[in-house]
Structure 1
Amino acid sequence: MTRTKSEKIKAKALELGFLSCGISEADFLSDEKDALQKWLQQGMHGEMSYMERNQEMRLDPRLIFEGARSVISVLLNYYPKKEQQDAEAPVLSKYAYGKDYHFVLKEKLNLLLKYIQEEIAPCNGRPFVDSAPVLDKAWAAKAGLGWIGKHSNLISVEHGSFFFIGELIVDLPLEPDQKTVRDHCGTCTRCIDACPTQAIVAPGVVDARRCISYQTIELRGELDDKLKDQFKNRVFGCDICQDVCPWNLKSEPHQEPDFEPHPQLLELTRKEWMEMDHALFNELFRKSAVKRTKYDGLKRNLRFLDDQ
């Protein structure tokens, strides 16, 4: 039986190491408009002023990429084989163990684009990995890859939620996925109950100003003193809402060499974290997403934990 263009693209995505792939027609995300505007109006984006800009672009990929016809969404597993050994050490989010996902995911998306151009049909396309105003989770949900959980992350029935999301927007019309994954959270509120700073203010709504990930990564200046003693030893990012999610019992270790941590990283003791100098920071996080907060930002976070 002859496979469609969409089927061939999905098969190639799996071959490249993606967990799954789904396709949507590039059109206006009408269902997300009101929720996005309300979230912004209430100031829940904190200092992330870039979220206020280009709101129409966030809702319509045709305004980002001229001639856009299809949005190809992919998931890439990052669940680690091992975690930090010292139970007292500051906790690093699992997504930051290895090489910065922006580079890894974009490289794979470019390979997928090359395959489409050479084997499917001539076209123009552009990969997106947090690099433009694209609502990753909304597009992945629309493509049938999962549903938005109460912690506001995408959850896959097959894979849980420890994965990165990326898109390839192309000017090629493709058969879109018609399936919609229903919300399987039910009455479960484990993520809401477990959030130490009570950042999940409603199902699917996170007040970034209270979120540990926002505080330790996005925020410039000093951390919010009102949240002192609530960080649960998190130094960069926070996985608590995902760690307690029953769907992540399905998470399996990734097979991506680029996501393997520096050999020394998971063995660091609390003392070694607290005394980390610039040289060690550069050695451990040379290619990591932790570089985003810079050495001074990480030391700020460590001081905040040390004061608790």
Structure 2
Amino acid sequence: MQNQNNISEKIKSKAKELGFLDCVILPATELTEEKEHFQNWLDADMNGKMGYMERNKEKRLNPRLLFENAKSILIVLQNYHTHKTQEDPDAPVISKYAYGTDYHFVMKDKLKSLLQFINNEFGPCNGRPFVDSAPVLERAWARRAGLGWVGKNSNLISVEHGSFFFIGELILDIELPFDQPKIVSDHCGNCTRCIDACPTNAIVDNRVIDARKCISYQTIELRGDLDENLKGQFENRVFGCDICQDVCPWNLKPEPHDEPHLKPAPKLLELTREEWYKMEKPQFNQLFKKSAVKRTGFKGLKRNLEFIQTNTDE
């Protein structure tokens, strides 16, 4: 049997080799502390029409109900920041995370590689990767892992890495040497830059986002008509929103990622405002076939474009 510390070091070394910023190993136990906060958010209807947030509530809080015989959970971070920007300053704006290949696929492939490594090195086990597409409270797990604190904009923020990163998990049915759970102290202080900068006032007290007012929710998650009360407040955002992260002091000097699959697509960054509004479905399918933008669909993108067009055309 290998030395326990050696096992942990090898796994974390492999995670870094795969391009993850960090990796922490914790026991797959219930998130009891988060239960009340999560329920209060749902009771206030701040999830909007994201009905899936109300389903499988117990699974969100307990990974042992989500994955049979779960014993360990690995929490990883993946940087997605880039210094590259869209070239036309008047073009509709999309979030940085959507510049390259859909992160769900990129992250899951990496986590599967990590699972295969663990199988090869330490014996057979079963595992399942999760990346923002299953009932897992990933931010809560990352906080418990000591990878950051929850900022006033409700994002996980790291002293070392800022907040432009994805969070992923790998749940295993074997017990690995665990890291000591720890809580990083809050470093937001009296700063309210994210709250002040949010054009739709979606950030409420107690580090809570009212999804119904959030530009990301409106342009990505919401099906049907956008909220007319928010007309003229999207600041030219057509898919997602980075405003509360862009103004955060902890993101003043973020390091760019070096993940090839997340590399910004040149044709996307080159799109002019006119080209965005003249876009037809074949071009949409070609341009976004591997992008997270396809999640909103061509119809959804056209809806978003029409909604923000009055911001500059009237």
Q: How far off its partner does 1:172 sit? A: 1.6
Q: For each residue in 1:152-191, what CA deviation from the matched residue of structure 2 results, as whole angstroms up to 9, or x when unmatched?
A: 1111111101011100001121232223211111111111
Is 1:128–1:168's contact at 8 Å kept on the other side of the alignment?
Answer: yes
Q: What is the aligned partner in structure 2 of residue 56 from structure 1?
A: 58
Aligned to 1:266: 269
TM-superposed CA distance for 1:124, in Å, is 1.2
> Aligned partners of 1:122 and 1:5: how far apart in 2?
14
* 1:190 has 2:190 as partner: no
Quote the residue 2:239 is aligned against: 236
Aligned counterpart, 2:211: 208
Structure 1 position 227 matched with structure 2 position 220: no
Amino acid at match of 2:152: K
Alignment partner, residue 5 of structure 1? 7
Rounded to whole Å, the distance in 2 between the matches of 1:282 and 1:203 is 40
1:36 corresponds to which letter in structure 2? Answer: F
Task: Work out which of the residue numbers 127, 133, 155 in structure 1 matches 2:135.
Answer: 133
Mapped to 1, the partners of 2:94 and 2:37 lie a distance apart of 30
In structure 1, what is the Cα distance between the partners aligned to 2:33 and 2:284? 43
Check conservation: 2:84, 2:264, Cα contact below 8 A. no
How far apart in 1 are the matches of 2:60 and 2:161?
26
Q: Which residue of 2 aligns with 1:281?
A: 284
1:24, 1:70 within 8 Å by CA — same for their partners in 2? Answer: yes
* Segment drifting more, 67-76 vs 253-262: 253-262
2:46 to 44, 47, 54: 44
In structure 1, the residue matched to 2:299 is 296
- Secondary structure of the residue that 2:296 maps to in structure 1? helix
Letter in 1 for 2:45: G
Instruction: Please list the CA deviations of residues 179-207 of structure 1 after superposition, one character each: whole Å capped at 9, or x if unmatched.
Output: 32111111111111111000011132000
Q: Give deviations 1:233-287, integer Å, cap 9, x for gaps.
A: 1000000000000111241111111112222111111111111111221121110
Letter in 2 for 1:78: Y
Which of 137, 150, 153 lines up with 1:151 in the alignment? 153
* 8 A Cα contact 2:73 2:172, kept in partner: yes
Question: Which residue pairs with 1:72 in the alignment?
Answer: 74
Tell me the equivalent position of 2:85.
Answer: 83
The residue matched to 2:33 in structure 1 has which SS?
A: helix
Any idea what SS the aligned residue of 2:166 has? strand
Matches of 1:120 and 1:145, distance apart in 2: 25
Could you report, residue by residue, the CA deviation over 1:104-130 in whole angstroms, capped at 9, with x for unpaired residues? 000000000000111123211110112
Q: After the TM superposition, which parts of structure 1 deviate over 4 Å for at least 4 consecutive aligned residues?
A: none
How far apart are the structure 1 equivalents of 2:191 and 2:25?
29
Aligned-partner SS, 1:167: strand
Please give the alpha-carbon distance, in whole angstroms, between the structure 1 residues aligned to 2:157 and 2:174: 28
Query: Equivalent residue of 2:74, what SS?
Result: strand
Structure 1's unaligned 5+ residue stretches are none
Is 1:252 the counterpart of 2:255? The answer is: yes
Q: What residue in structure 2 maps to residue 199 of structure 1?
A: 202
**Helix, strand or coil at the partner of 2:118:** helix
Query: Please, which moves more after superposition, 32-41 or 180-189?
Result: 180-189
Distance 1:203 1:98 in 2: 33
| Paired residue secondary structure (1:113) | helix
Preserved CA contact (<8 Å) 1:144 1:177:
no
Q: Amino acid of the residue matched to residue 275 of structure 2?
A: E
Residue number among 153, 159, 162 corresponding to 1:160 in the alignment: 162
Match of 1:165, SS? strand
Letter in 2 for 1:231: F
Mapped contact 1:93–1:236 kept (Cα < 8 A): yes
Partner of 1:173: 175
Match of 2:103 in 1: 101
Shift, 1:144, TM fit: 1.3
Aligned-residue offset at 1:305: 0.8
1:224 Cα deviation after fit: 0.3
